[in-house]
Amino acid sequence: MTASHPPRSESAPHLDSTAQLIGGIVSRLAGQLRLVPPPVRRPAPPALVLVAHGSRDPRALTTVRALMARVRDLRPGLPVHLGHIELNEPLLPGTLAALGDARAVLVPLLLSRGYHVGQDIPGMAAAAAARTRTAAPLGPHPLLAETLHDRLLEAGWPPAMDGTARRSSAVVLAAAGSRDPDSATDTRRAARLLADRLGVPVIPAYASAATPTVPEAVRALTESGRHRVAVASYFTAPGRFASQCAQAAPWIAAAPLGAHEAMARLVLHRYEQSLTERSTQAA
């Protein structure tokens, strides 16, 4: 008796050919994937370190921290740190030590060239293991003129003036002062930028180390027929010098630059600028 075999399904050849087809497709895809290069990992951006001067006035630290928060809001994901030259924690050497040998860009919250920019900050950077470069100081720059203008408007400067009002008005740009001639050059340029924006004379004056003083500048303008003299505060944050200069204002005194949105944009501009200028490398 002959053994019987189960009838072969008519679909078996079809299933076999389908499996072969799928196997061929998978094999070809695997070969193509081997040709695709692995994704390139971009290095993390250098950290941004805000370098503040430091002050015994507690409002200064509050202001700098508010500015730091604005910078972080504008550039999510960018590591942003703070270091002070003196008087406040964290001090810059400690901030740099915490970074180890990471890359960082130091952005001075200073408004002109001078000893701190030329000596103090580069010296602290050179002593650290972090691979740093130092950006230019914030000033002079049109974004500072924008901030100064807004602070004057907040203090009561009229948004529009007729010819008579312009002829009787002027501004003293009150700055910290330095014996470095480059610092005075930068402050004069900042005064010209603000004068172009306001359409009235803007005279730079200083709280220390340079002349004219703010009271001297106010007196000279008053004697020349400018009876409405405002004081614009060319300081990053409140402090002793800013308060002294404001007291000399015969009309209105503006607040320091502070955590204005244009200041945060300027910080990021200096950060980006430093990455494209090899000459700014500090260590």
Q: Which of 59, 55, 129, 65 is nearest to 85 (CA)?
A: 55
Instruction: Report the alpha-carbon distance of residue 73 to residue 80 in Å, rounded.
Output: 11
Report pLDDT digits (tens) over 3-47.
Answer: 555 555 555 555 566 667 676 776 776 666 666 566 667 778 999
How sure is the predictor about 264, in pLDDT bands with cuts at 50, 70 and 90?
Answer: very high
Q: How far apart are CA 222 and CA 264, in angstroms?
A: 35
- The pLDDT tens digits of the residues spanning 67-91 come to 999 999 999 999 999 999 999 999 9
Share of the chain above pLDDT 90, in %: 81
The model's confidence at residue 277, banded by pLDDT at 50, 70 and 90, is confident
What's residue 242's pLDDT?
A: 97
Phi, psi of 233 (to 5 degrees): -90, 105
Tokens of 274: 């430093």
